[in-house]
Amino acid sequence: MKLGYIRVSTIEQNTARQLDGLELDKVFEDKCSGSNSDRPALNLLKDYAREGDIVLVHDISRFARNISDLIELIKFFNYKFVTIHFSKENLIFSHDSSNPINNLMLTLLGAVYQFEREMLLERQKEGIAKAKMAGKYKGKPNTIERQPVWDLLGRGLSIRNVAKELGISPVSVQKIKFEKSDK
């Protein structure tokens, strides 16, 4: 089977150009960051792919944004006798073929994509820091009601139980708890 894997970083982004015109039996599509390999559609693909399948990916950066995840994903699929084909780079990785040039290209391009992501995050941090200094960046507004959190904590519930009860993260509960102690 020919399986496609498509990934964009945000819901607003369009996936149309990736693997456009290719005949695929099934497509797995993620709309989330590629910063780690725990992605819903990728996990489904890992479960679905069988021996002899070919997974087509538009380019290396769509599959993984860091070298270690990239190599581990390829090893995972190759161990299952599944071939990975990166269309843009025209690199193919299968269980039965070792190609030193392909391995070199994968490592080089993977490193470039990882570097690109790290630089983007660094520029983003610098921009936020400058905007904060200029008073133009206030951060995300508080959207969680504080009083129910304080009430449940006051009744002796643990941070985890409060989070579970209110459907918010334990980190949010902890921040709200410390807000109260600062006042």
**Active site positions, annotated:** 9
Helix (H) or strand (E) holding 91: strand 91-93
- Give the residue carrying structure tokens 């970083």: 9
Evaluate whether 174 touches 144 at the Cβ level (below 8 Å): no
CA torsion sign for 62, 65, 71, 75 is negative
Task: Compute φ and ψ for 27, nearest 5 degrees.
Answer: -120, 135
Q: Which two tokens stand for residue 97?
A: 């073929």
* Cα-to-chain-centroid distance, residue 126: 22
The span from the CA of 135 to the CA of 71, in Å, is 43
Distance, CA of 127 to CA of 169 (rounded, Å): 27
